[in-house]
Structure 1
Amino acid sequence: MADIDPLNSSAHNVDDGRRTAARDSLFLSATIRPRGDTGEEPSPVRVRNLSADGMMADYHDASVPGDAVVVTLRGIGSVPGKVAWVGQGRIGIAFDVEVDPKLARKPVTTTPRPLPPPLRPIF
């Protein structure tokens, strides 16, 4: 497992070493699993920041930069990507496709159920 400090300037994107997208700081539940049919259960993670081209999350499983993964985010769905860095209980993922981070912030809505009729006294 590579130990790279994501807050240090040496932490970098898999492709060219530069972060260019604005990042939203947030706390959001998501899952990460290896890409392909590995039979492994997705690992739950807590996303700390999210941008159109990547994310940082709390992560305690084994992984190395370059591993192909699929991240599932609420409001966005499953996104393929690669591990950019791992260290200090966190992981950086560079997405293979751009996402709209604002979709992850939208509240989850449900269809309201009709209220039951009011109760009447029985006496």
Structure 2
Amino acid sequence: MGRIDRDVFNESTPAADPVGGRRSVFAIAQLRLVGHDGFEVRVRNFSAGGLMVELPHAIAPDSAVEVELPQAGWVPGRVVWQTEGRAGIAFDHAIDPDLIQDDGGAGR
């Protein structure tokens, strides 16, 4: 899969993106830098190729990360961009977007 452009997860883009398959969501997930402990993030939108999360602290662009998703386990990816408490993460391989469900931020 090719690189995802930085603006794929831009907030000015409509929430429903029929071409890219991006969907708005509010869900809690675990994110970890490869080889480190995980921490909680809020998933704000996603597609088969990646997602945008709200972070408790900054992560450098191009960092290797893993996101824990229901029914998929830990999914590897890379930070494509990070700014003002949010980051865009591109998955290493496309996933089934139905694996991410909106939980209204209720968590697990």
TM-based fold match above 0.5:
yes
Q: Give the RMSD, CA atoms, in angstroms.
A: 2.3
Q: Which has the larger radius of gyration?
A: 1
Q: Distance in 2 between matches of 1:45 and 1:70?
A: 12
Cα deviation 1:12-42 (Å, max 9, x = unaligned): xx8263747221111111111111x3xx320
Preserved CA contact (<8 Å) 2:64 2:79: yes
Structure 2 match to 1:74: 70
Shift of 1:95: 0.3
From 47, 59, 77, give the equivalent of 1:63.
59
Preserved CA contact (<8 Å) 1:75 1:106: no
Structure 2 match to 1:27: 26
Preserved CA contact (<8 Å) 1:29 1:73: no
Shift of 1:106: 8.6
Q: Distance in 1 between matches of 2:59 and 2:69?
A: 19
Q: Which moved more, 1:88-97 or 1:69-78?
A: 69-78
Helix, strand or coil for the counterpart of 1:105? coil
Shift of 1:76: 2.5
Q: Distance in 1 between matches of 2:40 and 2:86?
A: 12
Shift of 1:93: 0.2
Q: Percent identity?
A: 40
**Counterparts in 2 of 1:43-122, with a 5 A limit?**
43-105=39-101
Preserved CA contact (<8 Å) 2:81 2:88: yes
Which structure shows the bigger proportion of residues in strand conformation?
A: 2
Preserved CA contact (<8 Å) 1:56 1:90: yes
Cα deviation 1:32-56 (Å, max 9, x = unaligned): 1111x3xx32010010011000000
How many equivalent pairs are there? 91
TM-score of the superposed pair, with normalisation by structure 2: 0.73
TM-score of the superposed pair, with normalisation by structure 1: 0.65
Q: Distance in 1 between matches of 2:22 and 2:48?
A: 8
Q: Distance in 2 between matches of 1:30 and 1:16?
A: 21
